[in-house]
Amino acid sequence: MLSKPSPKEIARVHGAEELEFLRRRVIFWRDDYVSHAPAAGGEDYLFLVYEFIQEIEEQLYLYVRRLRVTDHIDDDQLNDFMAFCYQQVDYLRNHIMQGNGA
């Protein structure tokens, strides 16, 4: 007989699903910013990087902190997600300054 998952296990599954959804959202945002900035556009387009950072901080950071506080995710998942977000910021910055995202 299979045991019923605990509330904590259910919360963790929900948290992982939510982070995956948010990763897709961040990539969607990144691609939208990239579409507005010419490759190697230079410093004139760096304002897009700052707007992207602001969007992440205002729209996502408090939400993922709440997921952590409510034990839907652990510290490692929170840190990994925020590192992922800032990797996307770096991708945008590299696109603007060097003409690539690598």
Distance of CA 11 to the CA centre of its chain: 20
pLDDT at 101: 60
Cα distance between residue 71 and residue 11, in whole Å = 7
In sign, the C-alpha dihedral spanning 75, 76, 80, 81 is negative
pTM of the model as a whole: 0.90
Question: Which long-range contacts link 54-63 to residues 24+ away (Cβ below 8 Å)?
Answer: 55/29, 56/26, 56/29, 56/85, 56/86, 56/89, 60/22, 60/25, 60/26, 60/85, 63/22
pLDDT digits (tens, 9 = 90+) for 50-99: 999 999 999 999 999 999 999 999 999 999 999 999 999 999 999 999 98
Displacement of CA 20 from its chain's centroid (Å): 9
pLDDT, tens only, 1-29? 678 999 999 999 999 999 999 999 999 99
Check residue 3 and give its pLDDT: 86
pLDDT of residue 102: 53
| pLDDT of res. 99 | 85
pLDDT mean over 31-54 = 96
CA distance 60 to 84: 12
Q: Is the dihedral of CA 22, 23, 28, 29 positive or negative?
A: positive
